[in-house]
Structure formats: structure tokens, C-alpha cells
Structure 1
Amino acid sequence: MEPITIADADVPALGFGTAGMDTDEERYDAISAALDAGYRHIDTAQMYDSESAVGAAIADSGLDREELFVTTKLDGGNRDHEAVVDSTYESLTRLDTDYVDLLLIHMPDQEPSHEETLDAMNELVSEDVVKHIGVSNFSVEETKNAIEHSSAPILTNQVEYSLAERQDDLLSFCIDQGVMLTAYSPIKLGDRLEDDVVQETADTHGKTPRQVAIRWLLQQPYVSTIPRSSNPEHVRENFDVFDFELTDEEMRRLFATEGDLDDALASKLGL
């Protein structure tokens, strides 16, 4: 897997999400299956209750910590300076690690100000317990303001992005600014899974519609994605996307399933 190199970080473009699982056993088994399948980018959050399972699965995997890229996110109630610092150290304990590769503001709509939160996150970067920082669910304007305020680069904005949920303005902005767009819910596609273009593309490559949807994301500049599943077969299926490549025409046709693609963005995408 070719990483996305951005802000002096090499980020595996395909990661594994850990939201929406009900029990520690389910989380541990899913994360272990992901690590066995080859995922080296694991995404968690304080609100997911999955940090301990991530830490345990990593410890039991036999992998060196340096082989992995681990992301977590601040809970909405942990946004003032003291809470950012204290809760991040608590996350490190649950994750059984000395550092996280990436710490995100999870949502843009909580107090106190983003500036106070970012100041504390930058302090953690200076202490080397957080390697990189970013945001999640931010608009273009909110991302721009975070970039302007933070002394450390904003590595990513993690948002819902898929064939059924385009983010054209944000993607264009991220490409211009050198910010990674991390796509969550990449296979939450609804009727897109049965779309003729998606199905025909899948048939052409001997792949599933879900694999086509993930590959479509990975071929876009500055885009990473973090599919999730507690089904080991689906975990492996979602990772099995590196032995085929979509043509430019296929990429354009897939974009067109959710409306026209602006010429300026098409140019930035090399399409």
C-alpha cells in the first residue's frame, strides 16, 4: 500500500474504523482481524469506547508500534485546555502507547473555542505525545480557520465522504491546502450499491461494489478512507483493493452517479 505523505507523515491510505461496535469482544475481534488482514492505520475515538480494544489488539498482534498509525479523537466534553491534555493522557493509557500519531477535534459545534482546543493540542505535539493533529466534520471555513490558528499543520479533516455523499468543495480545498481528507462511512452507499455503473465497474474488475467504492476514494489525491466492519470476511474484502485500478473514464462515470463533476475539481483530480 502506498502511503499518503503529508506534513512529514506517511499515512496508510486505507485504515480501519472502530465506531459502532457494541462490546469489547466484538471490537477486539474486529481490530485483530483488521491487523491480520494487513491494515496498519487504526481509527478510534474517546466516544467510541474502543480505545482499550485497540490497545489490546495491537499488543497481542506482535506488531511493532512504529508499524502502525493510530488516530483518536477528543470527546465533545474534552475541549478546554485542561480536559484536552488530561483526556489525551487517559487515551494513551487505554491505548497502551506512549503516543498517538493523530489527534482530532471530533466535532466543530462544541464549546469552548477551537482556538483553546488547538492550543492544547499543539502543546501535546510539543511534548511528543501527539505526532500530528487534525479536525473532523469541519466545513471549509472551519478548516481554514483551524489551519490559520494552529502552529502545527492540520493533517486531515475526517468527514463522511463516499459515492453517495460527495464533498466536492471540501475536497478541492484540501487538495489546494495539502490537507488529507479522511473519508468515513465509505461504503454507506444505499442504492448506489445497485447502481448500474457501480455494478458494471465491479463486474469488469471481478470485484464487489464495495471494493469499487473504496478504490474510487483511494485513487483521489489526498484522500484516505477508514471502512469498518465487525465481519472478518468483510474486513478482508475491504482491504482487498490493491490488485486493480480504475481507469480515468471509470472514475469519471463513478463521479457522475452523484451529479456533475466541476471542471476545476476534475482537473485537480487528473480527470
Structure 2
Amino acid sequence: MEIPDLGLGTYKMKETDECATAVETAIDVGYRHIDTAQMYGNEAAVGDGIMRADVDRGDLFVASKIEPEALGYDDVLESTRASAQKLGADSIDLMYIHWPTDAYDPEETLPALDELVDEGLVERIGLSNFRPDQLEDAIDRLDAPVYAHQVEMHPMLPQEELHELAVEHDHRLVAYCPIARNQVTEVEEIRRVAEKHDASPAQVSLAWLTRKENVTAIPKAASEDHIRDNYAALDVELDEEDVAAIDGIDERRRIVDFEEAPWNHN
């Protein structure tokens, strides 16, 4: 199964029934892609929600990410095996390196991911929050192909260079914070397009992303209404004029930023 254009993000959903219910609801609504991470602390709840849903596990695409401090060779193997157990999965569809920060050592981290693919515990390798140079270095080092690169991406942070690399290397660019934590509502160009289509600014942002080549969006949502509203973005059909208006937004805004982030250390 290939990664769907839209998925459910589960950031800040704790290990509670709320998370499991959101996952179950999303699957019932039509989502087939669920994204979690070791550092979210909710893999078991995600697994519970998947188990509750009335959809065959083989019809779902489930992704997780390795804890940023667990990137030594043995740590990668052990933590990923623990993730599979929590998710109730024989194999994980996509496993990302969450952050290439201080604990990241390409000579240790990347061979461990290749081993997990060889074992069959991980179906596909992903990277997350890599600078372009780090991304290309990892692609060169890995035996298995990079299937996806997950980064913050929305109309105020369009990630042109990373998108070009995704198309060039034929991997998916997976957009987190795809509605900029609802700050897209503040952008006049997006509001105009939303009004034209009788849609919300959030739906327009998601439609703009999923219309792009090799791009998947993973908005986080907990309530049924929010889950349904995001999914309805798949029915918003932007025309060339709409896309040009959004592409022309010149404001740049990054939501997730901190001193240790890779882009702050070139």
C-alpha cells in the first residue's frame, strides 16, 4: 500500500482513550494513514484505536518516528521493536528518524534502519526535519530507498528546495503543521480562495498541499468534527488561479523552531 495523500497526525494526543477514539473515528471517516511517534507517548493508544476500527490492518498505512535521543545502532533496533509491540503490528509501514540532532550519527543510525528493513520489521524508511544536505547524505548512505521526508510545510513555509528534492529522488514530502496551527486563517489570499470554494482556510491549505506532486499532509485532529472537516479537504478542487494565488504568498513563518533545530546549524 502506498502512503495516502491525507493522514491523521497525533501530536500532543496523550496515551488516553481520546487518542484511541480519534484514531478509530478517523479510520471510520475514511483516513487510511495514521502518523505517530515514540516521543508522542501514544503509540499504544494509536494501536488500540486501529484495533477498534472496523478496517483490515492491511488497508492502513501506519507511520512512527524514532525518539531523537535513541539514535545509536542498538537504540534504533530496540526502540523500533518496542514501537511495533505498542502498535500491535508485525511490521511498521514507515519508520522515520524524527530529528537529526546531537544523537544522530549517520554511521550508526542509518545502518540500523537498513537492518530493520532487512528483518522485515520496517517496510519503508523515512527521515524528518533534515536539511537538504543531510537528506542527500542519508540517501547516499542508505541501502534502502528513502520513502518519505516529513517536514513542516504550509503556504507560509512552502519548502521549495525540499519539494524539488522529493520530486527528484521520488520520495514523498509529508507535511506536518499543514495549516500552521490554524494561522492560515490570518492570510488574506487563503481566505479569498476559501470563500470562492465555500470552504475553510484550513481545507484550502490542505487542498493546496495534496494537489502538489509527491506531497502528503498530516493534520492533527482530535474531535470528530475537526477530523471530518480536514478529510473534506480532499473534495476541494483548486484551479490554477487558486494555486497561483497561494503560491504567491510572500509571508514566511515557521511554527516549529528551536535553537537545536538542524536549520539553525548549517
TM-score normalised by length of structure 1: 0.89
Partner of 1:228: 220
How far is 1:243 from its partner?
A: 2.2
Code of the aligned partner of 2:6: L
How far is 1:43 from its partner?
A: 0.4
2:246 matches 1:246 = no
Partner of 1:5: none
Partner of 2:129: 137
May I ask how many residue pairs the two structures share in their alignment? Answer: 252
Give the whole-Å Cα distance in 1 for the aligned partners of 2:135 and 2:196: 38
Give the whole-Å Cα distance in 1 for the aligned partners of 2:216 and 2:70: 26
Structure 1, 31-40 or 92-101: larger mean CA deviation: 31-40
**Identity within the alignment, %:** 36
Give the whole-Å Cα distance in 2 for the aligned partners of 1:200 and 1:157: 31
Of the candidates 56, 59, 63, which is equivalent to residue 48 of structure 2?
A: 56
Segments of 4+ in structure 1 off by > 3 A? 189-192
CA contact (8 A) 2:15 2:45 kept: no
Partner of 1:117: 109
Partner of 2:75: 83
Cα RMSD, aligned residues only: 1.5
Paired residue secondary structure (1:135): strand
Structure 1 stretches lacking a partner, 5+ long: 1-8, 261-271
Partner of 2:263: none
- Report Cα offsets for 1:116-144 as digits up to 9, x if no partner: 11101111101111000010000111100
Partner of 1:4: none
- Report Cα offsets for 1:180-233 as digits up to 9, x if no partner: 110000012565313232112111111111000000000000110100011210
Paired residue secondary structure (1:158): strand
- Report Cα offsets for 1:84-111 as digits up to 9, x if no partner: 1111111111001100000110001132
Change (3 A) 1:258 1:31: farther
2:146 matches 1:154 = yes
Change (3 A) 1:42 1:172: same
Give the whole-Å Cα distance in 2 for the aligned partners of 1:250 and 1:127: 46
Give the whole-Å Cα distance in 2 for the aligned partners of 1:224 and 1:190: 18
How far is 1:241 from its partner?
A: 1.8
Change (3 A) 1:115 1:258: farther
